[in-house]
Amino acid sequence: MSLTRNQTRKVYSFNASGTQREPEQDQFQPPTKPPPLGIKTPMQLAASEGLFEMHTDVGKLVSDNLRNLILTNHGERLGFFDFGANLRPILFNLGSEDGDLEAINRIKRAVSKYMPFVSLQNFQTFTDRDDNRNVAKIGIQVTYSIPRVNEAVRSLEIMLYMGG
């Protein structure tokens, strides 16, 4: 824009600009709630923000992912044929020494490939005798830790349904 003859200019000095106002807060403010890390399974619609319920705790996220890894059988994950512990073929052998050793090896193999940051500690099998009329159920309990996150020892119980 060019000035015509009737326009005047006002010149201000930075040094004589009067009192100084407080500078606006340009500093980073941490979010009031932790950011989402991953989708909770089984998937549920979110009650407040976002489309699905999300994990905000690393320990719970790893526990959820470890459960999914153990429960997945080979060929169930598109694009990753060997993803999972593949326990279905040995379900009827769980509870015996040979079956338990095979399950331990399969879980160890899957965790070392897909979740190497998890440190497995103990493995235990048990049978659900209370509600075992129509469907044969056997459970496994895996204790583990996540050394990089300094998480305490955690335990994960999974019920496996053998048939009915």
pLDDT digits (tens, 9 = 90+) for 38-52: 888 887 787 877 788
- What is the reported pLDDT for 67? 94
Amino acid at 152: A
- What is the reported pLDDT for 72? 92
- What is the reported pLDDT for 119? 92
Bond before 116 cis per omega within 30 degrees: no
Number of domains observed in the structure of the chain: 1
CATH number, domain with residue 139: 3.10.450.40
Kindly give the confidence (pLDDT) of every residue in the chain, 164 residues in length, as a single tens digit, with 9 standing for 90 and above.
Answer: 555 566 777 766 666 666 666 666 667 777 677 777 888 888 778 787 778 888 778 888 999 999 999 999 998 888 889 999 998 888 888 888 999 999 999 999 999 999 999 999 999 988 876 665 667 788 899 999 998 887 688 899 998 887 65
Tell which residue, 78, 36, 88, 41, has the closest CA to residue 63: 41
Q: Would residue 33 count as lying in a domain? A: no
Q: Would residue 74 count as lying in a domain? A: yes
Q: Would residue 122 count as lying in a domain? A: yes
55, β-bridge pairs: 38
Q: Would residue 105 count as lying in a domain? A: yes
3-state DSSP assignment of residue 9: coil
Q: Read off the pLDDT of residues 2-16 as tens digits, 9 standing for 90 and up.
A: 555 667 777 666 666
- What is the reported pLDDT for 101? 93
Residue 102 burial (C-beta neighbours within 10 Å; 0-12, 13-18, 19+):
middle
Domain extent, residue 133, equals: 38-163
- What is the reported pLDDT for 137? 82
- What is the reported pLDDT for 80? 86
Q: Would residue 109 count as lying in a domain? A: yes
Q: Would residue 44 count as lying in a domain? A: yes
- What is the reported pLDDT for 20? 64
Cα-Cα-Cα-Cα torsion 15, 19, 25, 26, nearest 10 degrees, comes to -10
Q: Please state the length of the chain.
A: 164
Sequential DSSP letters for 96-144: BHHHHHHHHHHHHHHHHHH-TT-EEEEEEEEE--TT-SSSEEEEEEEEE
- What is the reported pLDDT for 164? 55
Q: Would residue 81 count as lying in a domain? A: yes
Q: Which residue carries 């338990």 as its tokens? A: 100
Q: Would residue 49 count as lying in a domain? A: yes
